[in-house]
């Protein structure tokens, strides 16, 4: 059954409009057709398949599409292209054929095209699910950089619990309803419930959960990353006077 995550995202970007109730983005009602461009300027969206988002055969032309629609002067657009490509590590690809880019590079180009609109918020709708591990990590690094260094709000829709663990806030939706809304460390304490609704648990959190089930007392139970897990287990072994060597 559809749980509504992508549907919600498309409402936030005014791709869809509510049939009941109302959606306001920065004070703008999304049913206002005259201000849709303003909404999409403020709230960009990156889809699962970058091929659905790339419209030009040349990288620089694809990035310039949004700014041209905003009637930004050509001289400024040229600067925006360079700035947007630099932010996603595609500076050397300005004149490349978009069809010859890898999947990860295409997703970076899609992000660059959205960045050229200078949005306050970007929605990533399972945008790493079609990429290999390397490409997914590159996109995740860009997401973290955009949020921490450029102060862009990120809404990241994903089924990958390792990616969820990186968030500042997690909202779990099941069958169209919000069932959890908390910090990752609090969300993943609900191991049994998450499994009931078909979600996985990050491996480090799973290991700590299983140790707790066996009655092992741990100084820190809020473990989400491999680094945190190694630290907790190392301390546990030290307390048991078991030597650990690399």
Label residue 244 exposed, middle or buried (CB < 10 Å: 0-12, 13-18, 19+).
Answer: exposed
- For a pLDDT cut of 70, what percent of the chain falls above it? 95
Average per-residue pLDDT for the chain: 88
Residue 119 in this model has a pLDDT that exceeds 90: yes
Cα separation of 81 and 94, whole Å?
8
Closest CA to 88 of 69, 70, 105: 105
State pLDDT tens for residues 137-153: 999 999 999 999 999 99
Q: Mean pLDDT throughout 103-109?
A: 95
Domains of the chain: 5-158 (3.40.50.300), 184-246 (no CATH)
Buried b (16+ CB within 10 A) or exposed e, 151-160: ebebbbbbeb
Cα separation of 37 and 21, whole Å?
21
Cβ atoms of 120 and 42 closer than 8 Å: yes
What integer pLDDT is reported at residue 31 of this predicted model?
93
In sign, the C-alpha dihedral spanning 168, 173, 177, 182 is: negative
Residue 244: pLDDT band with limits 50, 70, 90: low
Cα separation of 196 and 219, whole Å?
27
- For a pLDDT cut of 90, what percent of the chain falls above it? 56
Residue 173: pLDDT band with limits 50, 70, 90: confident
Residue 97 is classified by DSSP as: B
Cα separation of 92 and 6, whole Å?
33
Tell me the pTM: 0.82
Q: Mean pLDDT throughout 104-122?
A: 95
Closest CA to 118 of 160, 89, 79: 79
Residue 246 in this model has a pLDDT that exceeds 80: no
DSSP letter string over 54-75?
---SBHHHHHHHHHHHTT--HH
H-helix or E-strand spanning residue 125: strand 121-125
Q: For residues 2 and 193, which has the higher predicted lDDT (pLDDT)?
A: 193
Residue 185: pLDDT band with limits 50, 70, 90: confident
């Amino acid at each position: 059954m559809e749980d509504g995550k992508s549907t919600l995202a498309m409402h936030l970007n005014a791709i869809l409009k509510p049939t009941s109730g109302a959606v306001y983005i920065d004070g703008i009602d999304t049913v206002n057709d005259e201000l849709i461009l303003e909404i999409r300027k403020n709230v960009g969206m990156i889809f699962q398949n970058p091929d659905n988002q790339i419209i030009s055969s040349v990288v620089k032309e694809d990035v310039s599409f949004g700014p041209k629609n905003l009637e930004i002067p050509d001289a400024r657009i040229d600067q925006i292209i360079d700035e947007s490509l630099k932010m996603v590590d595609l500076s050397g690809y300005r004149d490349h054929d978009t069809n010859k880019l890898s999947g990860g590079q295409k997703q970076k180009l899609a992000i660059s095209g959205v960045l050229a609109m200078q949005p306050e918020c970007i929605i990533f709708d399972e945008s790493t699910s079609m990429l290999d591990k390397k490409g997914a990590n590159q996109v995740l690094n860009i997401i973290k950089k955009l949020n921490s260094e450029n102060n862009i709000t990120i809404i990241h829709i994903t089924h990958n619990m390792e990616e969820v663990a990186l968030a500042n806030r997690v909202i779990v939706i099941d069958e169209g309803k919000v069932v959890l809304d908390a910090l990752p460390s609090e969300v993943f304490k609900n191991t049994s419930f998450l499994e009931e609704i078909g979600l996985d648990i990050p491996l480090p959190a799973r290991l700590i959960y299983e140790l707790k089930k066996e009655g092992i007392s741990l100084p820190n139970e809020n473990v989400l990353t491999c680094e945190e897990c190694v630290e907790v287990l190392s301390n546990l072994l030290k307390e048991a006077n078991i030597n650990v060597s690399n």
